[in-house]
Amino acid sequence: MARGMKRDADPVDGLLLLNKPSGMTSNRALQVVRRLLNARKAGHTGSLDPAATGMLPLCFGEATKVCGYLLNADKSYRVTVKLGSATDTGDADGQEIETAPVPDLSAEEWNEILQGFCGDSTQIPPMYSALKKDGKRLYELARKGETVEREARSIRIDEIRLLEFSGKRLVFRVTCSKGTYIRVLVEDIAKVAATVAHTARLHRESVGDFASAKMIDMATVEALAEDGPGPLREELLPADVALADFQQVSISLEDAQRFCGGQAVAVEVEEQEGLARVYEAGQRFLGVGELTDDGMLAPRRVFLTREETP
């Protein structure tokens, strides 16, 4: 290829669990990895704030079809809190707007406060967020000094575990539902403790069933792609690993052709309702189907192999 000519992108399929570095937007991280893979189609799920680090699932090619399912997955975070100082953004990137004394609490007292947030509750999204109000991002309004009313949203906290506490530093691990704003959780915890606080560091450790051990940091990504995209592509995970919680259904070659053509097929399975991972003869992944109580399996997302992708 002549120097200066742009290389055509390839139909690359798979998932990469990036350990997003601090100071980079989720979209910027996606575009960097996409370029290194020379991938034609890409997307990410579950955006992280620029200052945050940790698991950012990147989806390429046919794997972009699982992004919507990963958005609904539970997530876990390691959260470092600076007590006694509140910022306008709720994190370390913002300007300090309030200070307050920090109470001298024991580990048992901090644990009692944290456990009070477990379970179902509601949360008001922060002004510094990407949510829209009348067509405008809330953070755009916040930067202009505007504050608008936001509707409370339902969230769920499954577990909070105290890891460290010393002076103005508090560290905990939380597992929560989608849509939970950790910055708001930190501020609410501080209110119960009769002080103020902001999120000093936020690291996402897991998304759904994906564990932190499977993450790849940006330096490793760049090193693997130094001599071309081949070695990095070998690190990609197949799309169906993101659907491990779905029931697995195997269908015949004949039914697979009908399923991929958009037709429902008859199946015999234990659980007759819900979404399922569908395979041809238990081997080739075909996509996501929905089981109905009349014994049928209707296609919802059909996946093509790289060889089949036009």
Residues annotated catalytic, as ranges: 49
Nearest to 198 by CA among 86, 53, 35, 70: 86
Largest CA distance in the chain: 70
Strand, coil or helix: 12: coil
DSSP 157-216: EEEEEEEEEETTEEEEEEEE-TT--HHHHHHHHHHHTTS-EEEEEEEEEEETTB-GGG-E
Take residue 308 and report the two structure tokens written for it: 């089949």
**Spatial distance between the Cα atoms of 191 and 197, rounded to a whole number of angstroms:** 9
How many residues does this entry show for the chain? Answer: 310
Contact 79, 173 (CB under 8 A): yes
Take residue 91 and report the two structure tokens written for it: 């994190």
Nearest to 123 by CA among 75, 170, 156: 156
- DSSP letter for 176, please: E
Q: Which residue type sits at 281?
A: A
C-alpha dihedral (274, 178, 206, 184), degrees to nearest 10: -170
